[in-house]
Amino acid sequence: MSPLLPPLIISLLMMPSLASTPSFSDSVESPPDASDPCSSIHGVLLHRGEPVYDPHTFSSPNYPLQYLSKQDCLRVIRATKGYEIHVMFRNYFQIERTYDRRGALKEDYMDCPNDYLELRDGPYGFSPLIGRYCGNSLPRDDIRARSGYMWIRFHSDDALEYGGFTATFEFRLAYDQVYPNVGACHYDHLDGLDGDIDMTSAVRSQLSDRSLRESECVWRVEVPKHLKVWLSIDKFILGEPNQCHANFLEIYTGNTFDKPVKKLCGASAASIFTSHHTLYLRLFTLNSTVRQNTFISANYSAYSRHKNCSMFSLYSCGDENCIPHQLVCNGRINCPYQRDENYCEKEKRWYMKMLHLSYFPLILIIVVVFIIISILVLWTTRICRCTNKESSTYLSELSSRPPPGIVMNAPLSALSTRNNANSSQ
Ligand SMILES: *[C@@H]1O[C@H](CO)[C@@H](O)[C@H](O)[C@H]1NC(C)=O
Ligand SMILES: *[C@@H]1O[C@H](CO)[C@@H](O)[C@H](O)[C@H]1NC(C)=O
Ligand SMILES: *[C@@H]1O[C@H](CO)[C@@H](O)[C@H](O)[C@H]1NC(C)=O
Ligand SMILES: [Ca+2]
Ligand SMILES: [Ca+2]
């Protein structure tokens, strides 16, 4: 057992609670599942075998024991508006540090390619870097997130693990908040299989703040895990086309850990079939003039690629793309060649629907057989009625008629008027 017990009981008084706004769902925190190795980054530690939760701490996985290999733990913390986040490290700090080819320690403190703790001033992996930490000395810098958000990521590779770290953070009133607008233009699309992304209106809503210079709007799209996101950009007009420093749209898949899969700052954009079920879109604009002339709209849709869509209970677009059945005839295009919407108007009429069924000939045969049987049944009952009538008072009149098969073709009304005429005579 390590002699250095983690600072489990730290009373951080006068701390504003974590605010929750509808725009940024990552900020809603609840006690995580203690069996998840990443729960320690969310403040859960095992103390004498019992999980202890302190949301104002974050530690390496498995702390106070050695951290685990192949971990990627992420947490985003958020302060109430007007506060900034300060981080303090405790006890010890031991994260694998880079060795160069001769085995000498590299002096570059920021270069930690194997294992590291990464802190950013903002809620995303593309937010400004505060530092990437590794090695054996407690980070002594004044670590603070002035945007009111802090991105915390711990990464370890598959070899060499060390003691790790534990840290506490607190919220302090910010007298000079430099990025008051971070996280203010965030939109989540997490529940649907398809939808519109209206970037033009989002950018418009930022125009009311005249003092705002740079702005960043972010959309997070998530579809069920077994599917992927297809993004189709219908309209793409940037305020300053081909000026990548002034405006751009970046597309990230999975998380924002890695570089964007695409950075768009030209005059056009096409559709993108991503290979992940989550997607982040980041639209950067330098100033309000640029924002005023920005018009971008996109649609997203869940899809998957299989040789045989029906084996995965999906609808086939006819081109190896498969989509969930709910997206067929929902009034939106979800197949690249619109197959999911092409037959919908016709299919509303039942007989057209019947024609599209593969077992239509079978139904046709059944219907024809049924009609023939009905006719035969009607005919035989008719004969029976006629036989009964033969014994009645109309016997003489009926016996003068042609055989029953021919009578059937004569309209009943004509028959009855003739009867009436006969009786009135
Ligand atoms: C906004 O940025 C563009 C491109 O750099 C520049 O041409 C324009 O003058 C700027 N407008 C304002 C109001 O600063
Ligand atoms: C696709 O899968 C379904 C269900 O498993 C099967 O009935 C069908 O024959 C398969 N089609 C092809 C072209 O393999
Ligand atoms: C995208 O959504 C808009 C609004 O619902 C719609 O008008 C447009 O046709 C859609 N585009 C595609 C390719 O589905
Ligand atoms: Ca390692
Ligand atoms: Ca559709």
Residue 201, SS3 per DSSP: helix
Note whether 203 and 105 are same-domain residues: no
**Ligand 3 pocket member 299 (CB < 6 A):** yes
Regarding whether 115 and 200 lie in a shared domain, the answer is no
The pLDDT > 70 percentage for the chain reads 75
Tell me, yes or no, whether 317 and 270 share the same domain.
no
CB-CB contact of 134 with 96 (8 Å): yes
Give me the pLDDT at residue 262, please.
Answer: 95
Lowest mean pLDDT among 20-24, 123-127, 203-207: 20-24
Q: Ligand 5: distance of its center to the CA of 344 in Å?
A: 9
126 and 146 share one domain = yes
Q: Which of 345, 362, 379 is the last residue of a domain?
A: 362
Structure tokens at 71: 């971990």
> Do 100 and 193 sit in the same domain of this protein?
no
* Residue 215: CATH number of its domain: 2.60.120.290
Q: Which of 362, 387, 406 is the last residue of a domain?
A: 362
3-state SS class at 105? strand
Locate tokens 């677009």: which residue?
A: 317
Mean pLDDT lowest among 16-25, 88-97, 231-240, 323-332: 16-25
Confirm or reject: Cβ of 238 under 6 Å from ligand 1. Answer: no
Cβ neighbours of residue 275 under 8 Å, at least 6 residues apart? Answer: 228, 253
Q: Is the CB of 62 under 6 A from ligand 3?
A: no
- pLDDT for 407 equals 42
Most confidently predicted of 1-10, 107-116, 337-346, 395-404: 337-346
Per DSSP, the chain holds a count of helices (H) and strands (E) of 9, 21
The closest of 117, 132, 24, 118 to 79, measured between CA atoms, is 24
pLDDT at residue number 223: 96
Does ligand 3 come within 6 angstroms of the Cβ of 337?
A: no
User: Average pLDDT for residues 35-58, to the nearest whole number?
Assistant: 88
pLDDT tens sequence across 150-186: 999 999 999 899 999 999 999 999 887 666 678 889 9
Write out pLDDT tens, residues 344-370: 865 555 655 666 666 767 777 888 888
Same domain, 127 and 197: no
Q: Please write the tens of the pLDDT for every residue from 96-131.
A: 987 654 455 555 445 788 999 999 999 999 999 999
Is residue 414 situated within a structural domain?
Answer: no
Cβ-in-10-Å burial (0-12, 13-18, 19+) of 16 comes to: middle
Give the per-residue pLDDT at 11.
Answer: 26
Residue that terminates a domain, selected from 143, 173, 203: 173
- Same domain, yes or no: 29 and 164: yes
Q: Are 356 and 284 in a shared domain?
A: no
User: Angle at the Cα of 256 (from 335 to 153), degrees rounded to 5?
Assistant: 145
3-class secondary-structure state, position 396 = helix
pLDDT digits (tens, 9 = 90+) for 263-316: 999 998 889 999 999 999 999 999 999 999 999 999 999 999 999 999 999 999
Ligand nearest to the CA of residue 285, numbered in listed order:
1
CATH of the domain at 347: 4.10.400
Range of the domain at 75: 5-173
286 CB within 6 A, ligand 1: yes
Of all protein residues, the one whose alpha carbon is nearest to atom 5 of ligand 2 is: 311
**pLDDT average, residue stretch 206-213:** 80
Residue 374 pLDDT > 60: yes
Q: Could you tell me if 314 and 299 lie in one domain?
A: no
| CA distances (Å), origin 146, targets 160, 166, 186, 250, 256 | 34, 21, 18, 24, 20
Is 241 among the domain residues?
A: yes
The answer to whether position 398 is within a domain reads no
pTM above 0.75, yes or no: no
Would residue 153 count as lying in a domain? yes
Please check the confidence at residue 425 and state whether its pLDDT lies above 60.
no
Nearest ligand, CA of residue 324? 5
* Whether residues 266 and 208 fall in one domain: yes
290 CB within 6 A, ligand 1: yes
What's the mean pLDDT when you consider all of the chain? 80
Q: Identify which of 272, 333, 341 to mutate to test ligand 3's pocket (most ligand atoms within 8 A of the CB).
A: 333
Q: 352 and 269 in one domain?
A: no
Q: Are 312 and 224 in contact (CB under 8 A)?
A: no
**For the chain, how many structural domains are there in total?**
3
In a domain, 397, yes or no: no
Distance of CA 192 to the CA centre of its chain: 6
Q: What percent of the chain has pLDDT over 90?
A: 50
Mark whether 37 and 75 lie in a shared domain. yes
Q: Where are the beta strands (DSSP E) in 254-346?
A: 262-264, 272-273, 278-285, 295-305, 315-316, 321-323
Residue nearest to atom 1 of ligand 3 (CA): 299
Residue 249 in any domain: the answer is: yes
Convert the pLDDT of each residue in 241-250 to its tens digit.
Answer: 999 999 999 9
Higher-pLDDT residue of 420, 385: 385
Mean pLDDT confidence for 393-419: 47
Q: Is the Cβ atom of 308 under 6 angstroms away from ligand 2?
A: yes
Residue 60 belongs to a domain: yes
Cβ proximity of 51 and 45 under 8 Å = yes
In a domain, 404, yes or no: no
Is the pLDDT at 23 greater than 80? The verdict is no
